[in-house]
Amino acid sequence: MEPWPPVDDDVLLSELGEALRASGPPPEEFLTAAYAAFAWRTIDSELAIAELTFDSACDAEPAGLTRSAGSTRTLAFHAGPVVVAIEVTGNGIVGQLSPARGGRVVARTGHGPYEEVAVDPVGFFSLGPPPSGPVQLHARTPEYAVATAWVSLR
């Protein structure tokens, strides 16, 4: 048996050529995965990431606002002129997109989407209680697409 890698370049080139000629067509699942990976090549240009700019669990409230010390948590995410504002309560998440547009919001965990809802023409949406662990919201309207930074809402 020859040592691997071969010490002679001609032997190596011969083995590589034989491997390429004997491979045949790629399996269908490889092609499907390759096409799916190729579709992601422009994802950064299509989807803006909205950074967390305010979290009532961490940030001080702006002066002049009064709020009862309830279980409501308020978060704001910004991506250029787009704002995703949400309130998290024991009953779920309510939010608003600004600029206000109708569209869809998809809530995701690391395992994939867990809920998708419509956004009304004024930008409002409502989701059920978030699962434990990090969550990301993807909002898509006719004018923009944005995803929030990952954040734990519980």
Which residues is 82 bridged to in the sheet?
A: 79
pTM over 0.75: no
Q: Tens of pLDDT along 20-60?
A: 787 678 888 888 888 777 766 655 556 789 999 999 988 76
Which residues is 113 bridged to in the sheet?
A: 108
Neighbours of 76 (CB within 10 A): 19
Backbone angles phi, psi at 59, to 5 degrees: -95, 150
Nearest to 54 by CA among 70, 73, 71, 68: 73
Q: What's residue 6's pLDDT?
A: 66
The hierarchical CATH code for the domain 47-152 is: 2.60.40
Cα end-to-end distance, the chain, whole Å: 60
Average pLDDT over residues 111-128: 95
Residues of the chain with CATH 2.60.40: 47-152
Share of the chain above pLDDT 90, in %: 53
Q: What's residue 11's pLDDT?
A: 84
Neighbours of 127 (CB within 10 A): 21
Average pLDDT over residues 90-113: 94
Is the pLDDT reported for residue 64 higher than 80? no
Token pair in block for residue 57: 């669990």
- Decide which of 92 and 3 is more confident: 92
